[in-house]
């Protein structure tokens, strides 16, 4: 087996990072399915949503890994909790509320 070497003149092509808002990647499908959900979703429910919406069979293990990626590498706030007495977790995307306009001090004094 021959080892390959790279030098400064050889350009190596790096794979593009998956965008979390494009359904062409697992990361994107996971983000989009979770962001459009109105309720807490368990992994199997999220997998079913992805299957229905994007016609892809992403496994629960893969979805769990993509949730970690969204949290750790993309800074997306995803909340997790146990569903009832079950050891299984359910997830939802934390939506940030828009900042409310604060009154100006001159408005308050008038």
CA angle 75, 81, 85 (to 5 degrees): 165
Q: 30-81 pLDDT, tens per residue? A: 999 999 899 999 999 999 999 999 999 999 999 999 999 999 988 899 999 9
**Residue 40 within any structural domain of the chain:** yes
Residue 103 belongs to some domain of the structure? no
The domain total for the chain is 1
In degrees rounded to 5, what are phi and psi of residue 17? -70, 140
- Residue 50: give the domain boundaries: 26-93
Q: Can you give the CATH number for the domain in which 85 is found?
A: 1.10.10.10
Please state, rounded to an integer, the average pLDDT across all residues of the chain: 81
Residue 86 lies in a domain: yes
Estimate the crossing angle of helix 43-54 against helix 26-35, to 10 degrees: 100
Paired strand residues for 79: 92
CA distance 34 to 61: 16
Supply the pTM of this predicted model: 0.70
Higher-confidence position of 47 and 86: 47
pLDDT level of residue 14 (50, 70, 90 thresholds): very low
The answer to the question of residue 21 being in a domain is: no
């Amino acid at each position: 087996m021959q080892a390959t070497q790279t030098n400064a003149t050889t350009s190596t092509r790096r794979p593009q990072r998956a965008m979390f808002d494009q359904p062409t990647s697992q990361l994107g499908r996971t983000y989009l399915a979770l962001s459009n959900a109105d309720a807490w979703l368990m992994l199997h429910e999220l997998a079913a949503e992805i299957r229905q919406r994007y016609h892809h069979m992403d496994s629960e293990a893969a979805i769990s890994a993509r949730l970690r990626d969204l949290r750790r590498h993309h800074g997306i706030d995803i909340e997790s909790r146990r569903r009832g007495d079950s050891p299984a977790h359910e997830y939802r995307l934390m939506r940030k509320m828009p900042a409310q306009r604060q009154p100006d001090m001159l408005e308050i004094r008038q």
